[in-house]
Structure 1
Amino acid sequence: MTIDEVVLLLKASQATGLTTLQEIVLRSAWEGKTYTNVAVESNYPEDRVRKVAADLWQILSDFYKESINQSNFRETLENHRLGKAHQQLLREFNQAATAISLEFPSGPVSLNSRFYICRPPIEELAYAEIAQPGSVICIKAPKKMGKSSLVLRLLARAKKQNFRTVSLDFQQADKTVLANLEKFLRWFCANVSRELQLEPKLNDYWDEEMGSKVSCSIYFQNYLLSALETPLVLVLNEADWVFDSQEIAPELLSLVRSWHEQAKAVEIWQKLRLVLVYSTEIIVPIKLTQSPFNIGLPIKLPLFTKEQVQDLAQRHGLDWTDGKEADNLMAMLGGHPYLVRLALYHLVGKGGLQGNLKQLLQQAPTESGIYHEHLRQYILALQNDPDLAAAFYRVINAKNYVKLEPALAYKLQGMGLINLEGDRCTPTCELYRLYFCEYLKINESCNNNHVERLQLENQQLFVFSSLDELTQLVNRRYFQTSLQIEWQNSVSQRTPISLILCDIDYFKIYNKTYGVAAGDRCLQEIANTICNCVKCLLGNSSFSFSRKIANPPTNSSATFPKGDFRDENSEVIVARYGGEEFVILAKIDVAAAMYIAEYIREEIKALAIQCKYPSIGGLPAPVLTVSLGVASIIPAVETEPANLVNAAEKALDRAKRQGRDRVVLG
């Protein structure tokens, strides 16, 4: 048994579960720590720790019907195996807990989540290394493999040991910063100072004659590290962004190595513990003696094993003990952490796939499957890089493996699309092979035309998958993808972005009263009105209701749905969001968004679409009306597009509760 299983069994078997201190004592005793150590690390009085421990040993002895104490705790239970009764107890506990705590897999797995799967011995090795003076940890894995979740736990462990922690994301650095070593190192030092809540004093330590690297080292040694009483764990996230710079990457990496080597002779540098997090190999020239990748602890996050998939399934309340379901899931997903978690979420959620693994796997590589949004992001990325698309197409069509140009192979590996063993490239999983074989039709015998063909094919695919047939507006899927793109653009530009959600009041009753055909005509008329309102207020003489595609392929016969009014001066998306809901996304401020929403409300009411519902009273008007929720924000790195959507949805809900036929600001 593992300590996680011991803790889970006690939580399941005890009516009151386990307290935080009880769990701390159990895990600390498993690691061989004394009660004094536990008291110091957890800030509890030692006599309380001892009393809690004594009660725990009695509970464990009663549960296992043998004497268990601090000295024999791990030795005794590590040799135990989960019996059928205990397995059933855990299944029931997991099912009950899952119903309450089901989490959508997005971003790092939170510290208190029951869905984090350890990949021994990675976590323990990382925890041990971070405690070493002057240590360096290099965490490498493709996107969505769990790097951020591991870093979250590393930082939590560091804070528990009273270390100071700083986590920098190189995605936050402007392009101008990443183009110049001097600017980059000053940005780097200033941000570490800010995170440590120290006043930036760059000019006091920077010396042009000594150079930026020496100045940066002096700043760390004589100012930042000298100001700290405890070690500093410094996490450098998304290091790939630096790797792309021929000027900065070799200099930063040699600097990291020099700091690690200085820790052997200079005591103050022992305070610094560095963690580099990246997705792909560095492709700029760098000497082996300057690289940090051959020092410290290298960590490569592997795919989940079958046993780990079964464990995660059990935590979701699924009984996969016979292994067949895990085998079937892994045959499609290959143990990819994010893809596996998303599958389990849908199998126990309320999306129509409850327990239907066969249906989920059949739909997985199609547009109707649960992965369509995830796969769509790759389509957009490959569309922007035809050489990368062509290289990936070779991989997914190879019988065994192919060898690619290193730069292309590293990019595809960093995206998570391929496995790279030596110089041998294979698809990450069967899901990617099946899906992209369908959509990346490239004729290798026509190298001169493959870029144009790919653009045209993706363009046509884009049309078919993005159009709402009834209203001819773009659909919710396209809106969600566009929101992600516009959000990232607004983050870098620091411009406001606004969202308007529009819902037809009592439309379901209208549909029932006047029939589906009348309801469809109503939806079309209101869609046209919304488009006209947006065009009138945000458009210009060059606007049409056709999507504008930058640099379209020549001889293209594709046509495009209305609803995306973007050109050089304005960026607006009008989409059908749901049955009777529409959404408008625009890079405008809150005042403009409120004005547009009110104009739409008035114009739709002026259509005078008659609606008489004898069964209900208190209607806002004798004609069809709409309620609108508005939200606006200036996106930041630490926020998510979901924040904007949630605010608009809450505003729309308030508009309905306040009587409908109105605009409410979230």
Structure 2
Amino acid sequence: MKKNITLPGDPLPFNSCFYIERPPIESDAYAELLKPGSLIRIKAPRHMGKSSLMLQLIHQAQIHEYSVVTIDFKLVDTQTFLSLNNFLRWFCMNVARQLSLASDLDDYWDEEIGSKVSASIYFESYLLEQIKSPLVLILNEVDYVFQYQQIAQDFLLLLRNWHEQAKQTPIWQKVRLVLFHSTEVYIPLNINQSPFNVGLSLKLPEFTVEQVTELARRYELDWCDSQAVKDLMYWVGGQPYLIHQALYDLYQQKISLPELLDNCTKGKYIYSGYLRNLLNILLQDAELSQAYNQVVNSPNSNINLSDNLVYKLDSLGLIKLSGYNYEPFCELYRLFFQKSLLIESNAIPWDKLKKENEKLQLLVNIDKLTQVANRKCFDETLEIEWERMTYIQEPLSLILADLDNFKFHNDTYGHQSGDNCLHKIAQAINSVIKNPDHLVARYGGEEFVLILPQVDAEAAIFIAEEIRETVKSLRIKIPELTKKNQVTNMISLTISLGIACIIPSGDFSLREFFEAADQAMYQAKKLGRDRSILSSKFKFGYDE
């Protein structure tokens, strides 16, 4: 290695000679950063240089002696996203820590007035009062928040509110918001509530021929005739990472330009690891693989893809967008993925694979004994329905049911009889449910759960009572008590049920919702079993 150079893929330090400006991106961002209450949004796919630009902005802020806080959302634990309250407390505490201030969060937090108001009070009455200089608040990898739609909606609305507050409240003029994200924002937001239609919007472009030529010069490569630049850009376009990787290896004399160009046709050598990583991401999603297979093999760019697929392919930096037209980002991608995705006669039989996956998914999600959904399926479905009901603002009901005195049955008649009993009870519960969107699952042992989207508390109580009566009326055969007695006996069982119903929002977590139904079930047990109890905390739609 001739001298110490930042490896391709790593963010370039603010003073790196290899940082190439892309006018007017930097000058516009620097100017906006100086404006009180400003908001800057910077969008680019992966490996386009967002992290390096972020270091440049941090340096500019430090030159002006601004306070700088950087929040990276990919470092947030999943548990933090359980509720808006958890998330905003985590956010506020991190800002305080980076400003070297004591948290004192509980002095300003009041859940009765809501977490968004509490967070605003905390910033306005504490954090911004404690600092003398403007605050540059850099929010990196905002995409990670998009996965949690309700939290994303509330958080983005809050950021928009802070930006608007700067127009009328002097203390909020201290704040400069800078958001970095990789994809378009597909979170449904009122146009007057989104921070993504205000402030300065910047999209990082790919390198131009002139910029690649200048970067080659800084790598001490004599490419002034520009033909070498054009040859390289034919394969990799102006993708900053691919350009840096090529120039880095040429500078280190690991490969010659003819060898590099030859290897581009084979997707090998310096790009093999990078391309394989992209391929592995695609192969984890059959629908995404099929979509990109269409893109790389289409004779024209007029392809019909869903917004969600475009969202994913764009965030990976795999496509160029022009209105509703999509094409591979560069020729290297086209050639490599044509071969790797096994197109035309060698294509993966996606339809057959999809059917096989559906069969496998069915086996994975069904409880073998009772033939209703298993715990895994329940956990996944509950999260999905929680997010869905949050989005459409409809009620979600949850019923937890537990057989009464089932241990006595097992101890008396044996586990084989107990298994038979569980199967019949499960099928009896399932017979009550008519809506295909509703789910019956075995939670564990003799405990069952029901997920009822778009069902309020009154309707959930009706369903729970029908289940209770159906189970109670069931006559279950048991084996003879002794070998001498050949008579087949019949028994009946009862069941206790707990019910909770809510229209999900960021104010309560999924865990709190589940625990409320669980507590209601145990209250039914405590009051004598064979009954249904509605949670006193979550009872949306119940008219007392």
Say yes or no: TM over 0.5.
Answer: yes
Runs of 4+ in 1 over 3 A off after TM superposition: 365-368, 442-447, 450-454
**1:417 matched to 2:417:** no
Tell me the CA shift for residue 350 of structure 1: 3.6
Residue of structure 1 aligned with 2:217, choices 293, 301, 314: 314
The equivalent of 1:408 in structure 2 is 309
Aligned residues: 355
The equivalent of 2:132 in structure 1 is 229
**Contact 2:6–2:12 (8 Å) recurs in 1:** no
**1:174 matched to 2:174:** no
What is the alpha-carbon distance in structure 2 between the residues aligned to residue 420 and residue 325 of structure 1? 27
Give per-residue Cα distances to partners, 1:453-479, cap 9 Å, x unaligned.
Answer: 99xxxxxxxxxxxxxxxxxxxxxxxxx
What is the alpha-carbon distance in structure 1 between the residues aligned to residue 265 and residue 139 of structure 2? 35
What is the alpha-carbon distance in structure 2 between the residues aligned to residue 118 and residue 453 of structure 1? 50
Task: Give 1:147's aligned amino acid.
Answer: K
Unaligned 5+ segments in structure 2 are 358-544
SS of corresponding position for 2:205 = coil
Of Structure 1 and Structure 2, which has the larger fraction of its residues in strand?
2
Residue of structure 1 aligned with 2:15, choices 112, 119, 139: 112
What is the alpha-carbon distance in structure 2 between the residues aligned to residue 385 and residue 446 of structure 1? 14
**Contact 1:244–1:284 (8 Å) recurs in 2:** no
Identical-residue share of aligned pairs (%):
48
CA separation of 1:170 and 1:311: change in aligned 2, threshold 3 A: same
Length-normalised TM-score, structure 2: 0.63
Tell me the CA shift for residue 403 of structure 1: 2.7
**1:430 matched to 2:331:** yes
Task: Give 1:150's aligned amino acid.
Answer: L
**Contact 2:267–2:336 (8 Å) recurs in 1:** no
Which piece of structure 1 moves more, 285-294 or 137-146? 285-294
What is the alpha-carbon distance in structure 2 between the residues aligned to residue 206 and residue 411 of structure 1? 37
**Contact 1:233–1:275 (8 Å) recurs in 2:** yes
Tell me the CA shift for residue 441 of structure 1: 1.7
SS of corresponding position for 1:289 = coil
The equivalent of 1:394 in structure 2 is 294
CA separation of 1:350 and 1:320: change in aligned 2, threshold 3 A: closer
**1:374 matched to 2:277:** no
**1:195 matched to 2:98:** yes
Residue of structure 1 aligned with 2:121, choices 214, 218, 228: 218
Tell me the CA shift for residue 283 of structure 1: 1.6
Length-normalised TM-score, structure 1: 0.52
The equivalent of 1:161 in structure 2 is 64
**1:363 matched to 2:266:** no
**Contact 1:442–1:450 (8 Å) recurs in 2:** no
Tell me the CA shift for residue 106 of structure 1: 2.8
**Contact 1:395–1:427 (8 Å) recurs in 2:** yes
SS of corresponding position for 1:139 = strand
The equivalent of 1:145 in structure 2 is 48
The equivalent of 2:146 in structure 1 is 243
What is the alpha-carbon distance in structure 2 between the residues aligned to residue 326 and residue 278 of structure 1? 29
Residue of structure 2 aligned with 1:132, choices 35, 38, 41: 35
What is the alpha-carbon distance in structure 2 between the residues aligned to residue 101 and residue 317 of structure 1? 14
Task: Give 2:290's aligned amino acid.
Answer: A
Task: Give 2:36's aligned amino acid.
Answer: P
SS of corresponding position for 2:159 = helix
Unaligned 5+ segments in structure 1 are 1-97, 455-666
The equivalent of 2:284 in structure 1 is 384
Tell me the CA shift for residue 284 of structure 1: 2.2
Provide the alpha-carbon RMSD of the alignment.
1.9
**1:268 matched to 2:171:** yes
What is the alpha-carbon distance in structure 2 between the residues aligned to residue 286 and residue 108 of structure 1? 32
Tell me the CA shift for residue 238 of structure 1: 0.4
Give per-residue Cα distances to partners, 1:531-583, cap 9 Å, x unaligned.
Answer: xxxxxxxxxxxxxxxxxxxxxxxxxxxxxxxxxxxxxxxxxxxxxxxxxxxxx
SS of corresponding position for 2:311 = helix
CA separation of 1:179 and 1:101: change in aligned 2, threshold 3 A: same
What is the alpha-carbon distance in structure 2 between the residues aligned to residue 260 and residue 162 of structure 1? 21
CA separation of 1:453 and 1:302: change in aligned 2, threshold 3 A: farther
**Contact 1:168–1:236 (8 Å) recurs in 2:** yes
**Contact 1:365–1:371 (8 Å) recurs in 2:** no
Tell me the CA shift for residue 104 of structure 1: 2.1
What is the alpha-carbon distance in structure 1 between the residues aligned to residue 193 and residue 308 of structure 2? 21
What is the alpha-carbon distance in structure 2 between the residues aligned to residue 408 and residue 216 of structure 1? 35
SS of corresponding position for 1:370 = helix
**Contact 2:93–2:105 (8 Å) recurs in 1:** yes
What is the alpha-carbon distance in structure 2 between the residues aligned to residue 453 and residue 208 of structure 1? 48
Give per-residue Cα distances to partners, 1:364-414, cap 9 Å, x unaligned.
Answer: 253632101111111221121111111111111111212311011111100
Q: In the TM superposition, what are the counterparts of 1:328-343 in structure 2 within 5 Å?
A: 328-343=231-246
Which piece of structure 1 moves more, 215-224 or 171-180? 171-180
Tell me the CA shift for residue 169 of structure 1: 0.4
Tell me the CA shift for residue 348 of structure 1: 1.4
Give per-residue Cα distances to partners, 1:514-544, cap 9 Å, x unaligned.
Answer: xxxxxxxxxxxxxxxxxxxxxxxxxxxxxxx
CA separation of 1:335 and 1:452: change in aligned 2, threshold 3 A: farther
Q: In the TM superposition, what are the counterparts of 1:5-154 in structure 2 within 5 Å?
A: 99-154=2-57
Give per-residue Cα distances to partners, 1:299-343, cap 9 Å, x unaligned.
Answer: 100000000000001111111111101111111011100100100
What is the alpha-carbon distance in structure 2 between the residues aligned to residue 374 and residue 446 of structure 1? 26
Tell me the CA shift for residue 286 of structure 1: 1.1
**Contact 1:103–1:345 (8 Å) recurs in 2:** no
SS of corresponding position for 1:125 = helix
**1:253 matched to 2:156:** yes
CA separation of 1:452 and 1:418: change in aligned 2, threshold 3 A: farther
The equivalent of 1:440 in structure 2 is 341
**Contact 1:145–1:336 (8 Å) recurs in 2:** yes
Task: Give 1:383's aligned amino acid.
Answer: L
Tell me the CA shift for residue 420 of structure 1: 2.0
Q: In the TM superposition, what are the counterparts of 1:412-491 in structure 2 within 5 Å?
A: 412-442=313-343, 447-451=350-354
SS of corresponding position for 1:259 = helix
What is the alpha-carbon distance in structure 1 between the residues aligned to residue 185 and residue 352 of structure 2? 31
Task: Give 2:298's aligned amino acid.
Answer: A
Tell me the CA shift for residue 101 of structure 1: 4.1
The equivalent of 1:289 in structure 2 is 192
What is the alpha-carbon distance in structure 2 between the residues aligned to residue 447 and residue 370 of structure 1? 31
Tell me the CA shift for residue 176 of structure 1: 1.8
Q: In the TM superposition, what are the counterparts of 1:587-598 in structure 2 within 5 Å?
A: none
**Contact 2:159–2:195 (8 Å) recurs in 1:** yes
Give per-residue Cα distances to partners, 1:176-229, cap 9 Å, x unaligned.
Answer: 212321111111001111111111122111111210111111111111111110
**Contact 1:179–1:247 (8 Å) recurs in 2:** no
The equivalent of 2:517 in structure 1 is none
**Contact 1:280–1:410 (8 Å) recurs in 2:** yes
What is the alpha-carbon distance in structure 2 between the residues aligned to residue 120 and residue 227 of structure 1? 36
Task: Give 2:103's aligned amino acid.
Answer: P
What is the alpha-carbon distance in structure 1 between the residues aligned to residue 245 and residue 354 of structure 2? 33
**Contact 1:366–1:435 (8 Å) recurs in 2:** yes
Task: Give 2:337's aligned amino acid.
Answer: F
What is the alpha-carbon distance in structure 1 between the residues aligned to residue 267 and residue 349 of structure 2? 28
CA separation of 1:309 and 1:450: change in aligned 2, threshold 3 A: farther
What is the alpha-carbon distance in structure 1 between the residues aligned to residue 5 and residue 170 of structure 2? 47
What is the alpha-carbon distance in structure 2 between the residues aligned to residue 343 and residue 178 of structure 1? 40
**Contact 1:193–1:199 (8 Å) recurs in 2:** yes
Give per-residue Cα distances to partners, 1:561-614, cap 9 Å, x unaligned.
Answer: xxxxxxxxxxxxxxxxxxxxxxxxxxxxxxxxxxxxxxxxxxxxxxxxxxxxxx
Task: Give 1:366's aligned amino acid.
Answer: K
What is the alpha-carbon distance in structure 1 between the residues aligned to residue 143 and residue 108 of structure 2? 28
SS of corresponding position for 1:222 = helix
